[in-house]
Amino acid sequence: MSDKSHAEYRKRRVKRLKRMIVGGIIILISLPLASSIWLVCKLHSKENELAEITAQYMAQMQIMDEMQQRFDEENAATEQKYEDLLKRISEQSAEESVDTETQEETWDGIRRVYLTFDDGPSIYTDQILEILDEYNVKATFFVTGEEAETNPERYKAIVDHGHSIGMHSYTHKYSEVYKNKESFIKDYTKIRDYLTQTVGVTPTIYRFPGGSSNTVSATDMDELCEYITDEGVRYFDWNISSGDATRYALSPDRITANCLNSLENYHTAVILLHDTGTKYTTVQALPSIIEGIIEMDDTQILPITDDTVAVQHRKSKEIE
Ligand SMILES: [Zn+2]
């Protein structure tokens, strides 16, 4: 090879090498650049997606907020309706009682108040008994068949403390108690026998679940009232409701006010209270209820006995 051609060959090699290096540099630069551009584009589209999802989420949250608000409003309206209904029933029975009482010429001038506790025994029975003892007051417990282990003692305690015990059905399930006359008799017999066995006395008073004027019974209430009366048992409703049966616990002040507000309209006042595990505010209200009654002139708090004037929403034949 001549010097000339050797030089040319070297020149070409250098040139090729240069091209390769430049090409390599271009590739090295453009690869990350391209992937960066791709990433930026991708990020942008993801951002759009995210914005869309956020917008959808916000819209759904708003719908849920609106639904919740509507639900709360409807709930409040239902609660209000229920309270109004209770108030109306209480007022109605108040009017009826006042009506009958104004005809009573034999009234001896003593107002008789009967505190009645439904649905027990419960975890609060012991506390209720303690408070009643503190004020030396006797009350009436319309109990159901509570099978918890500690409860047989509580039925006995009610009687041992000198209070009256009455029946309030065994199951307290409207669908069972009021299904038909046979199932009512079955339930009635069960609570009567259970109490006879547990406390050693057969009770002679009964309170219908929901009262004798309840509108949920699938059986004619007149028929059931007649059955109970024929059994030699007297049923008692109430003319003053503490309002403590509402789903949300009322404040002790409210319960006390409900019990005392219309008390002076009555010669015979039967106050409806509840002894259940969800009614602690009733226990808290009890001392001020008792104090409020004790402060009234010519007023006595008594347990329901066979001599008590029956307060009934639906009058039994015996009373008519
Ligand atoms: Zn009840």
User: How many angstroms separate the alpha carbon of residue 215 from the centre of ligand 1?
Assistant: 14
**Residue 33: per-residue pLDDT:** 87
What percent of the chain has a predicted confidence (pLDDT) above 90? 61
The pLDDT of 85-110, averaged and rounded, is 63
Please, which pLDDT band fits residue 320 given cuts at 50, 70 and 90? very low
Question: What are phi and psi for residue 221, nearest 5 degrees?
Answer: -65, -30
71 versus 170: the higher-pLDDT residue is 170
- Give the tokens for residue 84: 């109004």
User: How many angstroms separate the alpha carbon of residue 320 from the centre of ligand 1?
Assistant: 26
CB-based contacts of 131, cutoff 8 Å, min separation 6: 283, 286, 287, 290
Above 50 in pLDDT, residue 319? no
Neighbours of 113 (CB within 10 A): 25
DSSP 8-state secondary structure symbol assigned to residue 246:
S
User: How many angstroms separate the alpha carbon of residue 273 from the centre of ligand 1?
Assistant: 9
In one-letter notation, the amino acid at residue 46 is K
> CA-CA distance, 170 to 184, in Å (whole number)?
10
The pLDDT of 37-45, averaged and rounded, is 87
User: How many angstroms separate the alpha carbon of residue 272 from the centre of ligand 1?
Assistant: 10
User: How many angstroms separate the alpha carbon of residue 191 from the centre of ligand 1?
Assistant: 14
User: How many angstroms separate the alpha carbon of residue 106 from the centre of ligand 1?
Assistant: 33
**Residue 41: per-residue pLDDT:** 80
User: How many angstroms separate the alpha carbon of residue 210 from the centre of ligand 1?
Assistant: 6
CATH fold of 106-301 reads TIM Barrel (3.20.20)
**Residue 70: per-residue pLDDT:** 81
What percent of the chain has a predicted confidence (pLDDT) above 70? 88
Nearest to 280 by CA among 315, 235, 248: 248
User: How many angstroms separate the alpha carbon of residue 236 from the centre of ligand 1?
Assistant: 12
**Residue 55: per-residue pLDDT:** 87
User: How many angstroms separate the alpha carbon of residue 143 from the centre of ligand 1?
Assistant: 8
130 versus 320: the higher-pLDDT residue is 130
Q: What is the 3-state secondary structure (H, E, C) of 24-59?
A: HHHHHHHHHHHHHHHHHHHHHHHHHHHHHHHHHHHH
Per-residue pLDDT of 219-277, as tens digits, reads: 999 999 999 999 999 999 999 999 999 888 999 999 999 999 999 999 999 999 999 99
What is the SS3 assignment for 83? helix
Question: What are phi and psi for residue 102, nearest 5 degrees?
Answer: -65, -25
User: How many angstroms separate the alpha carbon of residue 168 from the centre of ligand 1?
Assistant: 7
User: How many angstroms separate the alpha carbon of residue 117 from the centre of ligand 1?
Assistant: 9
Residue 271 near residue 116 (C-beta atoms within 8 A):
yes
What is the SS3 assignment for 195? helix
Above 80 in pLDDT, residue 141? yes
Nearest to 239 by CA among 86, 84, 109: 86
pTM above 0.85, yes or no: no
Please, which pLDDT band fits residue 37 given cuts at 50, 70 and 90? confident
The DSSP code sequence of 133-145 is HHTT---EEEE--
User: How many angstroms separate the alpha carbon of residue 281 from the centre of ligand 1?
Assistant: 17
User: How many angstroms separate the alpha carbon of residue 144 from the centre of ligand 1?
Assistant: 8
Above 90 in pLDDT, residue 195? yes
DSSP 8-state secondary structure symbol assigned to residue 73:
H
User: How many angstroms separate the alpha carbon of residue 266 from the centre of ligand 1?
Assistant: 23
Above 60 in pLDDT, residue 107? yes
Please, which pLDDT band fits residue 216 given cuts at 50, 70 and 90? very high
User: How many angstroms separate the alpha carbon of residue 249 from the centre of ligand 1?
Assistant: 16
Residue 181 near residue 224 (C-beta atoms within 8 A):
yes
> CA-CA distance, 132 to 143, in Å (whole number)?
17
Above 60 in pLDDT, residue 182? yes
User: How many angstroms separate the alpha carbon of residue 141 from the centre of ligand 1?
Assistant: 11
CB-based contacts of 238, cutoff 8 Å, min separation 6: 93, 116, 211, 270, 271, 272, 311
For the chain, give the mean pLDDT: 89
User: How many angstroms separate the alpha carbon of residue 101 from the centre of ligand 1?
Assistant: 27
**Residue 187: per-residue pLDDT:** 98
What is the dihedral angle through the alpha carbons of 318, 158, 188, 246, rounded to the nearest 10 degrees?
A: 90
Give the least confident one: 120-134, 136-150, 292-306. Answer: 136-150
Please, which pLDDT band fits residue 291 given cuts at 50, 70 and 90? very high
Domain segments of the chain as ranges = 1-103, 106-301
Residue 214 near residue 221 (C-beta atoms within 8 A):
yes
Above 60 in pLDDT, residue 96? no
